[in-house]
Structure 1
């Protein structure tokens, strides 16, 4: 299966992403079961009471449908057909919803989140959209299910937000099948449905983005909440002593520079957490925390210093950190 996210958000478990901490003491609780699979070039894992296996087929079908619409790695996807069009095309209600959220976030973040950076990402060796206009989200339009563009070679890349939407839809699917307590991990982005079967919040580990270190923080993920992380470790490289990652700073038309290595965001849904994590990382060392404070976004910023990993916390993130 071709991938939906690697041009911007690949393999989050390897870049300081949130991952489920081992559950403790199940003797008095319902038996815990894990169900896992592959999607979007990464792995997904569902943790909850026994009986999850019957959901595999419906989860895989859902992810396949999303891949067909939003993967820039597929020439036959809806997003690739839009990118190849001259002025735009009609899109589904689901595609319209994700694009609208992306455009709203681009506006709120003053362009730090830009869903038209695909060619810039590819120029630095990370993505599939090799041809296209210079990034400018303002040249996209959405009205009545018609997705348009002001320039014929403008392209759309939803990789900074679509995986979060996929996670939300997967959790909704499980809820519709009667699930009440589970933790769904999609490539390092997590969302809780209910609490842990033992009657507590799910405990989630924020992995360190630095080599040789394991856990940077532990948080309690309340019922219904999601956490997503953006960073540089999985799709990045060190050249001449500098770290270059796959997340672009649209203002300088290149990878984000500085000491920031990862940003984790807590939100009521994974699409919001996913998009804001991308935006805050793209905003950089100082701009990221300033942007988070301006919009009261609960976030954990991890910086590499000469001696240690430094943390900056905004919003209500401090309330869920252990």
Structure 2
């Protein structure tokens, strides 16, 4: 684990943004093309060589994301997860995809010692960030997964997969694009990215970690090798200020309140976007006091940003150092 002071420069901003992604340089490059759309209350973008016919993929991508939204969106009253949340205690039949993602969420809750908790939905709503009603007491151990069902121990226990489902959507979208014969591309879903192959220029795709403060140059740039994904959690995209305090959407289950430490963002890199997504959430919730140690103990490739204004510093764990440019 390393701790390093950062001195952001405009050179660091080359590439693409990693916390709230925009793809200006690469999408406009003569050797690339892109298509984009909307899903999950955010946007998606696929960037590949100008030789590939990407438009033929749009309908399939939109259809895939529509299925995932129908399964896991808590903002839809008719979604599978919303119906589960209104059911009483007991075991309830579930789609295999819901079971897979819920299993991953519970495994992550155990591995992170509860820093990631898929039952915090009502607390997220209480702090103004979500629609889930139910027990304000987070209790991930009250959920269980069977071969064809998901169980809960009491009536008002709820399931929230928002901290991991977007990463799963990215993994599935990447698999879809690969199956359609595209070999070199970068896929972005709401600020989470996964690379396949290489940039048309013959190098790895590069992404820039966005500075937590608006208008500041990126503090770091990462190269994404073939098959690598990156996800970031932080305060910039979903937060509000009240009485000189900043409140974000990531809940610390220990305090039942928005995670509050000197952390500004956490970026996690890995081969599975779903797991990177979940660990970014877990490590931000764990905070600066225990997040880096947790990441180190689990061999997570993570990049923690901390500080104020332009004077920020970083803590790096795992193999993230080798991915920095």
Matched, 1:264 2:267: yes
State the shift of 1:244 in Å: 1.1
Contact in 2 for aligned 1:96/1:147 (Cα 8 Å)? yes
User: Aligned partners of 1:81 and 1:24: how far apart in 2?
Assistant: 40
Is there any run of 5+ residues in structure 1 with no aligned partner, and where?
1-12
Matched, 1:312 2:315: yes
User: Could you tell me which residue of structure 2 aligns to residue 43 of structure 1?
Assistant: 43
Decide whether aligned partners of structure 1 residues 202 and 146 sit closer, same or farther in structure 2, where only a CA change above 3 A counts: same
User: Could you tell me which residue of structure 1 aligns to residue 59 of structure 2?
Assistant: 57
User: Could you tell me which residue of structure 2 aligns to residue 289 of structure 1?
Assistant: 292
Pairing 1:1-322 to 2, within 5 Å after superposition? 16-17=19-20, 20=23, 22-23=25-26, 31-50=31-50, 51-87=53-89, 88-305=91-308, 308-322=311-325
User: Could you tell me which residue of structure 1 aligns to residue 7 of structure 2?
Assistant: none
User: Aligned partners of 1:234 and 1:20: how far apart in 2?
Assistant: 17
User: Could you tell me which residue of structure 2 aligns to residue 10 of structure 1?
Assistant: none
User: Aligned partners of 1:19 and 1:264: how far apart in 2?
Assistant: 16
Is there any run of 5+ residues in structure 2 with no aligned partner, and where?
1-15
Decide whether aligned partners of structure 1 residues 66 and 109 sit closer, same or farther in structure 2, where only a CA change above 3 A counts: same
User: Aligned partners of 1:316 and 1:77: how far apart in 2?
Assistant: 38
User: Could you tell me which residue of structure 1 aligns to residue 3 of structure 2?
Assistant: none
Question: Could you report, residue by residue, the CA deviation over 1:142-180 in whole angstroms, capped at 9, with x for unpaired residues?
Answer: 111110000111000000000000000000000110110
Contact in 2 for aligned 1:15/1:230 (Cα 8 Å)? no
Decide whether aligned partners of structure 1 residues 165 and 25 sit closer, same or farther in structure 2, where only a CA change above 3 A counts: closer
User: Aligned partners of 2:34 and 2:310: how far apart in 1?
Assistant: 38
Question: Could you report, residue by residue, the CA deviation over 1:55-113 in whole angstroms, capped at 9, with x for unpaired residues?
Answer: 00000000000000000000110000100011241111111110010000000000000
Contact in 2 for aligned 1:15/1:231 (Cα 8 Å)? no
State the shift of 1:23 in Å: 3.5
User: Aligned partners of 2:203 and 2:23: how far apart in 1?
Assistant: 14
SS of 1:98 mapped into structure 2? helix
SS of 1:215 mapped into structure 2? coil
User: Aligned partners of 2:27 and 2:121: how far apart in 1?
Assistant: 42
State the shift of 1:241 in Å: 2.2
TM-score (norm 2): 0.90
User: Aligned partners of 2:109 and 2:195: how far apart in 1?
Assistant: 26
Q: Give the ranges of 4+ consecutive aligned residues of structure 1 lying more than 4 Å apart after TM superposition.
A: 18-21, 24-27
Q: More deviation in 296-305 or 64-73?
A: 296-305
Question: Could you report, residue by residue, the CA deviation over 1:15-70 in whole angstroms, capped at 9, with x for unpaired residues?
Answer: 9345547239966xxx4111000000001000002311110000000000000000
Contact in 2 for aligned 1:265/1:274 (Cα 8 Å)? yes
TM-score (norm 1): 0.91
Decide whether aligned partners of structure 1 residues 14 and 128 sit closer, same or farther in structure 2, where only a CA change above 3 A counts: farther
